[in-house]
Amino acid sequence: MKNIIFLAPPAAGKGTLSEMLVEKYGYGHISTGDLLREEVKAGTPLGKEAEGLMKAGKYVPDDLIIKLISNRITKPDCENGYILDGFPRTLPQAEKYDELLKELGKDLGVVIFIEIDKQMAIERACSRITCPKCGRIFNKYSNEMKPKVEGVCDDCGTELTQRADDNEETFIKRFDEYMEKTMPLYDYYKEKGVLETIKAHSSKYDTFNEAVAILEK
């Protein structure tokens, strides 16, 4: 299976699509945010270093993130392919990741850009509700994504909440910041010949089918 990097603006459905692909193909799913939290919780040397930086209000440097990624992609569940979720975010990270792959003898795979209309992204974000316990995302106005019981997580029965930054003004800032800071990666991977584009459809299954077509062609 091809390794995947997703480039996706906020509310494009990257998390949902990742879950569907993990279920179909057995991909390892790698979120840098989750990796950091796991290392901190486990009290590893990397986790302690990251925790100290975060408590001091500092960014976790790229070299530390790369170490976390290196440890993770060499684990058994990534042997047949993995999805990188939230990484790389900048050109320096992308270049460091290329160096890591060369060292490990691993293939970059495919970079999939999820294209979404800005207004659709706003509507999705402002109707998104999340389980604070297990992290599952729902959408109260979508027949496909709404919980079976209003306001309650299907998986663990926890009361669902809405993120404080899922309001229109804050979301627009996040969306615009993403496009400005992360979109140079679009050109970087396009020049490498590994970039594919799919659309964020109103139905997650249509988006999923486009991704599957890319992975299986």
Positions marked catalytic: 14, 89, 128, 163, 174
Q: How far apart are CA 35 and CA 73, in angstroms?
A: 11
Give start and end residues of each alpha helix (H) in the chain: 14-25, 32-42, 45-55, 62-73, 91-104, 118-126, 168-182, 184-192, 204-216
The tokens of 54 are what?
């975060």
Pairing state of beta strands 137-139 and 128-130?
Answer: antiparallel
Q: Please choose, from the candidates 167, 33, 19, the residue with its C-alpha nearest in 3D space to the C-alpha of residue 83.
A: 19
Q: How far apart are CA 53 and CA 99, in angstroms?
A: 25
Q: How far apart are CA 105 and CA 127, in angstroms?
A: 43
Q: Which residues 6+ apart lie within 8 Å of 205 measured at CB?
A: 144
Is the Cα torsion angle 130, 135, 137, 140 positive or negative in sign? negative
The tokens of 217 are what?
């062609």
